[in-house]
Structure 1
Amino acid sequence: MGWGGASSLSSVVGIFFFTGPLLLLLSTIFEWIIGNFFNMMLCGFFCVFWSSLGILQLPTADIASSYSPTGNALDGALTADYNAGIALYISVLGFAVFTIFLVTLRTNAVLAVLFVNATAGLFTLSASYWRASVGHLPTALHLKHVRTAYVFVYRQLIIYF
């Protein structure tokens, strides 16, 4: 939401590798040991997601700069191909989380609401990248702020759960 002037993900890219994937990988292993398959599947799924998102945001990977003819990462991050690729990735992730939502309908109402908020947030973020890919940057920024509101509700439900 831009609180405190935060505008870039590269300053927190370490979280994408160590807090997310490392702890989720350990959780996946421990859930497998105690026999909780559904929790193991969720932890493994989000471990892969956070790892791949971390690689996308890692400045030394030069993924955004590979889309720029000049090799500039900022120019590459503004190209239609880069934004459409990320939008497609997040859309596929949204469908996967929606499938998880359908599975959780029988188990727990709070978990189902959590995953429906996560799904809405992912599709909103995907729409943001789609809008950025066609050059509508103010709309893309607004959609990212809306997505952050979904994440806020999602995080509150995680604390409750």
Structure 2
Amino acid sequence: MPAVTIKFQKLSPAAILPTYAHPGDAGADLVAIGQHTLAPMQRLAIPTGLAAEIPQGYEMQVRPKSSLALKHGITVLNTPGTVDAGYRGEIKVILINLGNGPFAIAPGQRIAQIVIAPVTRADFAVTTQLSESQRGEGGFGSTGKTY
């Protein structure tokens, strides 16, 4: 699959471009600038010092790092966060500390990952009736299955 070019502007000399840790990875790591501390249940928008130019027809999804979530209870609050193609401001990551103690974020620390994804736009239409389906109106827990 051909690569999509994402242009980044460094808004701070401390900003670091996203990088893929391994060949074939879907997510590239986003890095924090500055020193920050998250108290338990606190949320902060952590700056990256980067702005991006995403091609039309694509979005940048901001997702948690599994290692931070598992080891420290740190996650991206609005996961996945969406950076639209038309946005040119600084990319910030909304982190929350679901852990029991304070969590220090050092400059240059990997705090989230980004995935570049194609965007599908929909046409929305009003109807008086929806077609039948096997699930019907079954909502949360409606499958009743345990594994």
- State the TM-score bracket (shorter-chain normalisation): under 0.3
Greater percentage in helix: 1
Q: TM-score, normalised by structure 2?
A: 0.26
